[in-house]
A and B are shown apart, each in its own frame.
Chain A
Amino acid sequence: MLATPTDMESAQAHLLADGKRLHLHHGPIDLIIEAFGADRDAAYRSAAQRFETILTELVGELPLLRERAVSNRTFAGAVARRMQKAVEPFCAQFVTPMAAVAGSVADEILAAIQNVPEMRKAYVNNGGDVAFHLCEGETINAAISGLPHGRITMDFTQPFRGIATSGWRGRSFSLGIADSVSVVAADAASADVAATMIANAVALEGCPRVKTSPADELSPDSDLGTMLVTIDVGELYPEEVDLALDQGAKVAQSLLNCGLIGGAVLQLHDEIRAVGLPADRQSYPNEIPARKLIDA
């Protein structure tokens, strides 16, 4: 199925086959949305209307969004401002607002849905970075694949409305080797950048079985420039897995202590670390199929 693009595509919306969930797509953005409430159509209409200009707003400020974040920089777009806000606590290190782009888009669209009256519950899933809305009495279940196929359940009383996952196998480049780092935080943008930073910290310096490449060789306009990003992780010794996870868990713990995240689950090979979240297998009784690397 090869086709050459002709006209620049515009934002698209349609319901998925189940007739319940909305799929919004534009360029690199794909959102899966589900809303529960009196007027779901109104919620979807609101989401779709907000979505229509999201990408063009972002593109207008893309060059600055791809630069290293500095404190108190101001942006015009609502999503860009969310990104800046999310990376603000991390400006002492290298980070660009792009680390929070997926979560920020999810938060922005969720806000449009929350405006619709009588929305009991809703979520906006942007490729695994999810913003959700809960009314009193509502809970939400997140499946974290790869975790011994576990779930995280969050309810109205908890102050978390975002969850995000990062890892070198994902769509964005990672400086680390974590298979995945899933983070729960106040909103999706905060979870997104925290997951990125924790995943970056799950690293092994100079390990010959970790293959890297300059980011701009893989993607010429990557915000990471010539920084080395992980492209392959070979077999690791258990001590190496432990060491890498320890480093990541340390970062996660400090973010937890600062109140920046509600918890994190780190995965590397078959090892799991949880910070502020239960990680024992009994907590995750239900299995879901996971897509895995076909590697011998």
Chain B
Amino acid sequence: MSQSAEKIRCDACPVMCYIAEGKTGACDRYANANGQIIRCDPLTILNKRISDGGEIIPFLKSQWDGSLIRDDEVFVTANGAGTTYPDYKPAPFIVSREIDGVDFVTVVTEAIFSYCGVKVKIDTDRHIGHEGAVVRVNGEAIGHVMTSEYGSQMLSLGGVDHLTGGSKAEGRVTCDALMKLCNKEAVELSVDGGSTVVVKAGHAPIIDGHQEERMRVGCGSATIGMFASQWIGLVDEVVVVDDHITGVVSEHQAGKVIDWPNTGIKILGRRSTPGRYFQVAEPGLGWGGTNVEDPLSILGPWNGKKGAKPGLTMLMVSTTGEQHGYYVLDDDLKPQKQDLPETLQPSVDLIAENCEPALCTVLFMGGAGGSLRSGVTKNPVKLTRSVQALKTSVTCGGAPLYVWPGGGITVMVDVTRMPDNSFGYVPTPALVAPLEFTVAREDYKTLGGHDAAVRSVDDVLESGGEYGDNVRAISPPPGSELGARNTN
């Protein structure tokens, strides 16, 4: 993520362009990506032969006999592996499509999302920063911590203000981070007043250098509810330590219904309902998302009058089973740590076993409400209405997506369901993403679609492929909605 605008010289053709970081050369085929020349060639990706490892017939200086290879494989595959590779800028192939009665097209355009961002879900109990805290990459603000959700911390990154409203560096860093996140690459994010998190879509988060393994089985109270019956008879008290809701089996409804005896335990927290405590400590990176390193610190004095007695046993465990301790009250009713009895090990393992792997999920969110639509229909709002009425389906690189109710066409898509490297960017800055509208031909007519250009749904997709990203054929990823419509 170099900030320096290092220019490098491309040696792909005799022009030998100097190309600045993140830019393409004069051909729009070769680009400088992180100091390396990469190829981003819409023709290549549309050419099956090349994607299969072949090459276009080169000129042979003296031997070329003038025979021209009829290349049926060119343009047939919107299905090649790289078909969703972003067009940094439209190459001239957009003019190569034949239209009935028209000899050629003269056009200048570009397909970009300047209204977009990502929502990141990080499966962890750990506190990575306060709600509303600014999230940074390389010191530039790119978003903030959202309201936390079940077993996870949520981030909202990008959006038009960071992309275009802030400083130039902020826009550039935001765009770069969004593109990497969307392309399933790892990005290190630092939260003001909180942690540093490495986020990679579909992988475990790494929080302050520690890789998260498991997502909590439930909150502390839920854990009590799930496992109370497995603990009865094996231990006198169980405390599931959780920053959100710490559970205590002897007091909890789940314990009461199986006649769990009182223990005289005292939790230092705000009691919500019996056996359920809020705010037993501060949020942090310790037990159950608290800042607790020694779980005994959340306990007050034991009350002999309410059931505490020497020899009473207690299991303390976190919501993932990752941390646990076994204690026995001494003659002064002070808990003393002992080894976990073998009989209790299975219940701790069961908590861990019931946890799902902790993952980072990245949802791309973008608005396709504006002028994009006029490439699809003469009357853009009809497209919006058709999408909202579910007559026109929208996909992102063939992946199903969620269309927000309300105005516009605002969509969210899980980037792990999209083909690799689906996203690109333009220096505007804005992301380039594939987006497809699929509509039955009859509906397309009523939409005021450019019907003269339509022959079939496949054709709509294919034509789009040559014209641009707004309506284009893409490589259907396994299980995607378009997979069944794959013609090649």
Contacts and interface: CB of A to CB of B under 8 A. Distances in A.
B394 to A, nearest CB: 12
A35 B405 CA distance: 51
A258 interface: no
Given A5-B12, A294-B370, A128 B92 contact: yes
Contact of A5 (B37, B408, B453): B37
A165 B107 contact: yes
Contacts of A104: none
Contact of A16 (B58, B96, B464): B96
B19 A3 contact: no
Interface in B8-45: 10-20, 23, 25-30, 36-41, 43-45
Interface in B234-274: none
Assign chain A's interface to a size class.
Answer: 35 or more
Contacts of B39: 1-5
A130 B105 CA distance: 9
A112 interface: no
B106 A1 contact: no
Interface string B93-115: 11110110111111111111111
Interface stretch (B65-73, B196-204, B344-352): B65-73
B106 A164 contact: yes
Interface in A198-247: 211, 213, 217-221, 231-232
A146 B107 contact: yes
A8 B107 CA distance: 29
A146 B467 CA distance: 12
Contacts of A160: none
A120 interface: no
A55 interface: yes
Given A219-B26, A294-B372, A289 B38 contact: no
B102 A125 contact: no
A293 B95 contact: no
A9 B27 CA distance: 12
B468 interface: yes
B484 interface: no
A165 B23 contact: no
Nearest to B112: A294
Contact of A2 (B40, B59, B80): B40
A291 B427 CA distance: 19
B58 A288 contact: no
A283 interface: no
Contact of A170 (B7, B16, B108, B112): B108
A1 B53 CA distance: 11
A34 B97 CA distance: 12
A5 B109 contact: no
A68 interface: no
B106 A287 contact: no
Given A15-B69, A59-B14, A219-B17, A293 B26 contact: no
Contact of B37 (A4, A125, A141): A4
A179 interface: yes
B234 to A, nearest CB: 57
B19 A219 contact: yes
B107 A27 contact: no
Interface string A33-49: 01000000100110010
14 contacts: A3-B38, A8-B11, A11-B59, A15-B68, A21-B98, A127-B95, A128-B105, A141-B103, A169-B108, A288-B450, A289-B450, A293-B371, A296-B115, A296-B408
Given A296-B370, A296-B408, 18 more contacts: A1-B41, A1-B80, A8-B12, A9-B13, A15-B71, A17-B76, A28-B13, A52-B61, A123-B104, A142-B103, A149-B450, A171-B108, A288-B99, A290-B374, A292-B109, A294-B111, A294-B113, A295-B114
Shortest Cβ-Cβ A-B pairs, 8 listed: A1-B82, A291-B468, A27-B13, A170-B108, A127-B92, A28-B27, A220-B18, A145-B107
Interface of B: 5, 7, 10-20, 23, 25-30, 36-41, 43-45, 51, 56-59, 61, 64, 66, 68-76, 80-82, 85, 89-96, 98-99, 101-115, 164, 366-376, 378, 408, 421, 427-428, 435, 450-453, 463-464, 467-471
